[in-house]
Amino acid sequence: MLWVKAFHVVFVASWFAGLFYLPRIFVNLAMVPPGSEAERERLLLMARKLLRFATLLALPALALGAWLWLGYGIGRGGGNGWMHAKLAVVALTLGYHHACAVLLRRLAAGTSRRSHRWFRWFNELPVLLLTAAVILVVVKPF
């Protein structure tokens, strides 16, 4: 199970790296001056590729996490409230990932009305999610 845990951590870290950088591309897209089509298309291509890559990294992270959850029997019985909270963080992270996909579609279609400042704040959410997940797993506060 230690191999499963090790690869789970690697894939989660890699997935989050994508979630950290993708909204940064959104910031740059929101700042593209009108008429700079080449720059806009280059950033959209980067964002699409990064979203696809982050999605491919999320799948083994989730599968390995489920393997660990089932293998260790965590979450069943008393004293495992931290796991329920962590699963909520995972659900929020999946929601954030989906929101990135929706925002990318809007940016590509030219229908996004979000400012670069909004995207800068949006970019901070995965940091909070990862921090919460790590604290829940390592500290197990409840």
Q: What is the CA radius of gyration of the chain?
A: 17
Q: What pTM was computed for the model?
A: 0.94
Measure CA 66 to chain center. 17
Each residue's pLDDT tens digit, 80-103:
888 889 999 999 999 999 999 999
Residue 74's pLDDT band (boundaries 50, 70, 90)?
low
Q: How many domains does the structure of the chain reveal? A: 1
Q: Which domain holds residue 30?
A: 2-139
